[in-house]
């Protein structure tokens, strides 16, 4: 089998539309640099072509926020259409601004909530939606056990979590689908859509922010006492 490899490099200031992880959407980018690699393989018996792959590596800069992205366009005879990959991978959900506040709160103890959330965001970036849902459910369970102890079942933990004031009835009703989605992902081959996973993240992020971030900030307010 004969293998042939070709490379073409260029500097360019052309515009290209691709996904920006800062703007969270398709934006016009300036092409800073591109390199094309073409690979062909031929049969050692009759010299006929048996495989080709063409990779176009494009370094781009967002025209709005100036974020740098590497886009790879791959064409080969093993795919029906051009495959597009980018680095860093597409971010469909930004990490909350308070995430580092959470990290500093846990820094000298056990930063499991921060680490857990980072792993869930990583799963989302790589489109591992089942892993994200299972992680969300597991994180929720750990938070409940931390606050009210283990009551031997998720349902009992959830009821006590509400009765002790960590969530309202409305929040509890919103969280119940999170539990069911995590259970279904583990045992019934359920795969949530990206929008559904983002909805679950909204619920859990709001809960964490209210318990660990807002409560901590409220306790530091210097409010003068009423005059009698």
Each residue's pLDDT expressed in tens, for the chain with a length of 228 residues = 556 556 666 666 688 998 998 888 899 999 999 998 888 887 777 767 777 888 999 999 999 999 999 999 998 877 778 888 888 877 777 788 888 777 777 665 667 888 888 899 888 888 888 888 888 888 988 889 989 999 888 888 888 988 998 888 888 887 787 677 777 777 777 777 888 888 888 888 888 888 888 766 555 555 556 666
- 199 phi and psi, to 5 degrees? -65, -45
Which helix (H) or strand (E) is 186 found in, with range? Answer: helix 169-187
Contacts of 47 (CB under 8 A, 6+ apart): 2
Of residues 56, 50, 44, 48, the one with CA closest to residue 6: 56
Task: Show the tokens assigned to 204.
Answer: 């859990």
Strand partners, 211: none
134: preceding bond cis by omega (within 30 degrees): no
Task: Show the tokens assigned to 179.
Answer: 């539990």
What is the rounded distance in angstroms from the CA atom of residue 99 to the CA atom of residue 84? 31
Of residues 167, 166, 176, the one with CA closest to residue 199: 176
The model scores a pTM over 0.75? no
């Amino acid at each position: 089998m004969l293998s042939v490899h070709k490379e073409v490099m260029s500097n360019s200031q052309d515009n290209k539309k691709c996904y920006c992880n800062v703007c969270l959407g398709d934006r016009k980018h300036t092409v800073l640099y591109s390199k094309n690699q073409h690979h062909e393989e031929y049969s050692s018996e009759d010299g006929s072509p048996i495989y080709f792959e063409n990779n176009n590596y494009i370094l781009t800069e967002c025209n709005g926020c100036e974020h740098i992205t590497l886009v790879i366009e791959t064409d080969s005879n093993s795919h029906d259409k051009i495959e597009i990959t980018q680095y860093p991978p597409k971010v469909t959900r930004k990490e909350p601004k308070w995430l580092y506040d959470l990290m500093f709160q846990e820094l000298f103890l056990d930063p499991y909530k921060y680490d857990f959330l980072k792993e869930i965001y990583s799963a989302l970036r790589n489109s591992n939606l089942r892993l994200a849902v299972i992680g969300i459910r597991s994180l929720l369970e750990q938070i409940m056990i931390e606050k009210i102890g283990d009551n031997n079942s998720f349902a009992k933990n959830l009821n006590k979590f509400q009765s002790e004031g960590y969530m309202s009835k409305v929040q509890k009703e919103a969280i119940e689908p999170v539990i069911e989605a995590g259970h279904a992902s583990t045992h019934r081959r359920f795969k949530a859509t990206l929008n559904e996973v983002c909805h679950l993240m909204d619920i859990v992020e709001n809960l964490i922010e209210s318990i660990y971030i807002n409560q901590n900030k409220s306790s530091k307010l210097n409010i003068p006492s009423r005059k009698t």
